[in-house]
Amino acid sequence: MIKKKILFLIITIFFSNKILLADIKIEVLVDNEIITNYDLENEINYLEILNSNLNQLNYNQKLEIAKNSLIKQIIKKKEIKKFTTMEGANQFVDDYMKDLYTRLGFNNDKEFEKILKQKTNYNLSKIKEKIEIDLYWNDLIFSKYNNQVKIDKKKILSRVNAMQEDSKKEYFLSEIVFTKKKNRTIQDYLNEIKISINQIGFNNTANIYSDSDSSKFGGKIGWVSEISLSKNIKDKLSEINKGEFTDLIKLANNFLILKIEDKRVVEINIDKNKEVERLINQETNEQLNKFSKIYFNKSKLNYSINEK
């Protein structure tokens, strides 16, 4: 079955792209799913569209990031298919696609597709498939762990009631999120991350070291109002300037480093009901992201990953 799949893939690639058969090599096997050097090249080019800073890395570093990205995608899809057929398009795919190309500075999907065709052999259908996997994965995590999410609504309400309509800071932030590694101290790992930041920059380091989904965008999470941040994080950000990054911030089982890409002051009009809802959603998503990492890492142990 695997041989037939490989043969079909090679024939398809040969006729559609006129690539020499001898140039196609299997780089990774995830159970019966193959990742070729051709797949890795496409993924590198795609990830460079998401984070242009990636082109500052050497080829082996980009290769490792692309490999991990495709392995994660395959494992997520396999886990999803244990619970659903993934038949029919997810209703939110188009919304997420629009959010993606808008975030990257494109006015519409045609502009985005033009760049895809120029730099990769991916098309919009392929990107929609990637988005769909992430959406189904989020649904899976929600169904498994939603009843374990704990929200202190009184604390959130108290926080919102303390807010005042005024001029408030907003930060354009990038993040590196990681957990403690087995047999390594946090300080050793932190030192390694800081060396990487000095050598290749914060955003490229996020691609390599961050466990967050924002890593594929170089850790960029966009504009965040200071009123939505905890006191601990606000205090840390107040100690640094634009272009600098914070000391280590402990968040439950995770560790966080934030960089201020930009900041501004805006006038705010607070709708307290909407603000409570937003903060509840934010806290819920943070907890579900934690469960997502735990579930993925456990699931990964069930798959055979063989690299060349």
Domain with residue 249: its CATH number is: 3.10.50.40
**Domain shared by 138 and 63, yes or no:** yes
**Domain shared by 7 and 135, yes or no:** yes
37 within domain boundaries? yes
Of how many residues is the chain composed?
Answer: 308
CA 131 from chain centre, in angstroms, equals 11
| Contact status, residue 306 vs residue 28, Cβ threshold 8 Å | yes
Question: Longest C-alpha distance within the chain, in Å?
Answer: 66
Nearest to 203 by CA among 186, 187, 221: 221
Runs of H (alpha helix) within the chain: 2-17, 37-50, 59-80, 93-103, 109-119, 124-145, 153-161, 186-200, 202-209, 231-238, 272-300
238 within domain boundaries? yes
**Domain shared by 61 and 179, yes or no:** no
Query: What range does the domain containing 257 cover?
Result: 166-269
* Cα end-to-end span (Å), the chain: 20
**Domain shared by 135 and 170, yes or no:** no
Instruction: Supply the pTM of this predicted model.
Output: 0.80
**Domain shared by 23 and 125, yes or no:** yes
Residues paired with 172 in a beta bridge: 223, 262
**Domain shared by 172 and 141, yes or no:** no
**Domain shared by 109 and 240, yes or no:** no
State whether the Cα torsion 294-295-296-301 is positive or negative: positive
154 vs 65: CA distance, rounded Å = 42
Cβ count within 10 A of residue 228 = 16
Number of domains in the chain: 2
Domain with residue 32: its CATH number is: 1.10.4030
**173, exposed or middle or buried, with CB in 10 Å at 0-12, 13-18, 19+?**
buried
Cβ count within 10 A of residue 125 = 8
Full pLDDT tens readout for the chain, 308 residues = 444 444 444 444 444 444 555 578 999 999 989 999 999 999 999 999 999 999 889 999 999 999 999 999 999 999 999 998 777 666 789 899 999 999 999 999 999 999 999 999 899 999 999 999 999 999 999 999 999 999 999 988 888 887 766 667 899 999 999 988 778 888 998 999 999 999 999 999 999 999 888 999 999 999 998 878 888 899 999 999 999 999 999 987 789 999 999 999 887 777 888 888 988 998 899 899 889 989 999 999 999 999 87
* Angle, vertex CA 88, rays to CA 83 and CA 93, nearest 5: 95
276 vs 161: CA distance, rounded Å = 9
**158, exposed or middle or buried, with CB in 10 Å at 0-12, 13-18, 19+?**
exposed
Residues paired with 225 in a beta bridge: 170
73 vs 81: CA distance, rounded Å = 12
**Domain shared by 110 and 187, yes or no:** no
Cβ count within 10 A of residue 92 = 14
**Domain shared by 24 and 130, yes or no:** yes
**Domain shared by 140 and 174, yes or no:** no
281 within domain boundaries? no
State whether the Cα torsion 277-280-281-282 is positive or negative: positive
